[in-house]
Chain A
Amino acid sequence: MSRLRPVTAEAPVESRAAAVEQLLDDKGMEATAFVDDFAAHADAHWVSRNGAGVVARAWVDPAYRARLLANGRDAVMELGLTMPPHHRQLVVLENTPSLHNVIVCTLCSCTAFTIIGLAPDWYKDLEYRARVVRQSRTVLREMGLDLPPGIDIKVWDTTADTRYMVLPVRPEGTEGLSEAELAALVTQDALIGVARL
């Protein structure tokens, strides 16, 4: 058993993360500067109010809604939003009174993060990834969305470079609201499909 390595305590995860950043800096890659800029950009730009604005526009503008459903990537770019190169397509999933769409990535954590915001913790957890494809109605009920039997469910597993966003049903009683007021009603959870509005 000459290949056994000496037992060394594992460094804490914070120390391991700091070690990578420090070593890349030492090699002249200016990692710390990149990280600071990246974090500020993510906080400012990769937020669910982007998707909320897309939904509100689709609710008030039928022509925009049609373009959004036909080619989501081009339609969100009309509003000044961006998607990374490997998000080659945005498919917008329209909920109706009798259909509910919900998004998952069973293999990892893929999301249209520049549109619907960075994925929340539970979306990346093993429980959600394992269960929502097989026990969709049960998991949604446990998460507070108790769908009546008349609403069918479609689950979308993000396994390639296509990204998804749910277009929620516009709530009743919102006829007089402005586009900005409508956008304020749209949550990230509704864009993923674990809530209805």
Chain B
Amino acid sequence: MDGMHDMGGREGFGPVRYTPGAPSFHAAWEKRVNALYSMAVRKGIFNMDEYRHAIERMRPYHYMSASYFERTLTSLATLLVEKGVLSQAELEAAAGGAFPLAGPAAPGRVNAPDRQPLAPGDRVRVRDEHVSCHVRMPGYIRGKTGVVVSISPLTPFPDAHAHGLHAEDEPTYDVAFDALELWPGAADPALVHVAVFESYLEKLG
């Protein structure tokens, strides 16, 4: 999903509000919301991929203006409504006002039929695909070339797992990209490593 959440490489942002040893939480409700979504995951009401995608589905102006834990809260409430645990009317009555939720999901997808195992040292290209479902491929690597550095254990395929579809678990590959190939002439020199699912990659000869 080419949404607001896909932040890597976006321009126009100012300095990071950095203080050494900064806190994780600024208000008591933030910690409680963090715990509530963990409870829902542990109870099996939704999984981590559904949780991530419900944040991504927030309306763009809401996503950009909400604090981090307001996004957590919105994802939690959206999924509780979609799963039939609560209703939006109940939420608005209890909250005493409007309770904006995330937008609807597009259909998910299963593994690429022609995916193939890769090995460290392989040169790969990230498939030039645009999918409207949940996807863990940041837009800045789409169509780009890199080198496989290592292999990670089998992981549920997020494009299916966020949408209630059955798919095979896949390895992910740590792929190294040259920042100056990702953003030619417009980046600080660095290697950018991304964990990429097998279905997103094609091997180069």
Chain B 91-117 interface residues, beta-carbon cutoff 8 Å to A = 91-92, 94-100
Interface size class of B (residues with CB under 8 A): 35 or more
What B residues does A29 contact at CB under 8 A? 39, 43
Flag whether A67 is at the interface (Cβ < 8 A).
no
Contact B64 A126, beta carbon cutoff 8 Å: yes
Contact A130 B10, beta carbon cutoff 8 Å: yes
Flag whether A86 is at the interface (Cβ < 8 A).
yes
Contact A120 B14, beta carbon cutoff 8 Å: no
Contact A34 B39, beta carbon cutoff 8 Å: yes
> Are A160 and B172 also in contact (CB < 8 A) when A23-B90, A129-B7 are?
yes
Flag whether B143 is at the interface (Cβ < 8 A).
no
Flag whether A158 is at the interface (Cβ < 8 A).
yes
Q: What does the 1/0 interface line of A7-51 toward B look like (CB < 8 Å)? A: 011111111111111111001010100110011001000000000
Contact B150 A34, beta carbon cutoff 8 Å: no
Chain A 99-137 interface residues, beta-carbon cutoff 8 Å to B = 104, 106-109, 117-122, 124-137
The 9 A-B pairs with the shortest beta carbon distances in the complex, nearest first, are A11-B97, A106-B8, A19-B94, A11-B95, A160-B195, A38-B35, A120-B22, A19-B95, A118-B24
Using a CB–CB cutoff of 8 Å, the interface residues on chain B facing chain A are 5-11, 13-27, 29, 31-36, 38-39, 43, 48, 52, 55, 64, 67-68, 70, 73, 76-77, 80, 85-86, 90-92, 94-100, 136-138, 140, 150, 152-153, 155, 172, 174, 176, 179, 182-183, 186-197
The distance in angstroms between the C-alpha atoms of A138 and B188, with both chains bound, is: 7
Pick out which of these stretches binds chain B: A56-64, A148-156, A167-175, A177-185. A148-156
What A residues does B15 contact at CB under 8 A? 127, 142
Q: List 9 A-B contacts (CB under 8 A).
A: A11-B92, A11-B95, A18-B29, A23-B86, A23-B91, A117-B24, A125-B17, A127-B13, A144-B18
> Are A189 and B20 also in contact (CB < 8 A) when A14-B27, A126-B7 are?
yes
What A residues does B25 contact at CB under 8 A? 118
Q: Give the most central of A88, A107, A109, A124: most B CB within 10 Å.
A: A107
A residues contacting the other copy or chain, number (CB 8 A): 75
Smallest CB separation, B82 vs chain A (Å): 14
Using a CB–CB cutoff of 8 Å, the interface residues on chain A facing chain B are 8-24, 27, 29, 31, 34-35, 38-39, 42, 86, 88-89, 91, 104, 106-109, 117-122, 124-139, 142-144, 152-162, 187-189, 194-195
Cβ-defined partner of B193 (8 Å) among A118, A132, A155, A189: A155
Contact B192 A157, beta carbon cutoff 8 Å: yes
A interface: dominant SS: mixed
Which residue of chain A has the shortest Cβ distance to B200 in the bound complex? A159
Contact A187 B138, beta carbon cutoff 8 Å: no
Contact A121 B23, beta carbon cutoff 8 Å: yes
What A residues does B48 contact at CB under 8 A? 86
What A residues does B38 contact at CB under 8 A? 38
Contact B196 A131, beta carbon cutoff 8 Å: no
Contact A121 B29, beta carbon cutoff 8 Å: no
> Are A19 and B193 also in contact (CB < 8 A) when A120-B23, A129-B8, A162-B174 are?
no
The distance in angstroms between the C-alpha atoms of A15 and B92, with both chains bound, is: 10
What A residues does B188 contact at CB under 8 A? 134-138, 153
What B residues does A19 contact at CB under 8 A? 91, 94-96, 99
